[in-house]
Amino acid sequence: MAQFEYANKIITANDRTKMDTLGIIAANFTDYSDFDREGNIYETLVNSGEIQLLRNQGIINRVRILEQRYNYINRMENIHYDIMMDYAARSITTIINFAAAEVVKQEFIFSNEFHNLVFLLVMVMNEKDQTYISAITEINDILALIDDELKKV
């Protein structure tokens, strides 16, 4: 995300002295995280009957919220993957010579079309970042609630 934000600044400033840097960053457009959570925590707890072991409704509610966060992360990862495959990969293969590690279409890398792609990737990465932070916060809150329950035992 930091690289894409930097690329956005370079293009916005029309700083053509950083052409090689943009080329390196553009080559990284195909990198993406792959969070593909399968299953459903809450449903598994209910179906197994283990939900009855949880007496704290706060924990149960937070597990549901965490489940929603995981579903949202999956959607964001799919969106990122689709953008990468449908737009980013096509763009960079036409402007970057990977073997020579150089930008071959220098005007395109400063075009509005390419700038929009960079901006779109920054937006998706920011949203993914916020979603992951939210999930981590939820996990930490659940762990704190569990610790509190264990202290009561």
Domain count of the fold of the chain: 1
pLDDT at 108 over 80: yes
pTM comes to 0.79
pLDDT of residue 39: 65
The H or E element that residue 54 is part of is none
pLDDT of residue 48: 82
pLDDT at 141 over 80: yes
**Section 130-150 average pLDDT:** 93
**Section 61-89 average pLDDT:** 89
At 129, is the pLDDT very low, low, confident or very high (cuts 50, 70, 90)?
Answer: very high
The H or E element that residue 96 is part of is strand 96-97
For residue 73, the enclosing domain spans 2-152
**Section 5-23 average pLDDT:** 92
Percent of the chain with pLDDT over 90: 40
**Section 74-79 average pLDDT:** 90
Task: Return the axis-axis angle of helices 112-152 and 57-83, rounded to nearest 10°.
Answer: 160
pLDDT at 133 over 70: yes
Residue 144 to residue 59: CA distance in whole angstroms: 9
Burial group, residue 65, by CB count within 10 angstroms (0-12, 13-18, 19+): middle
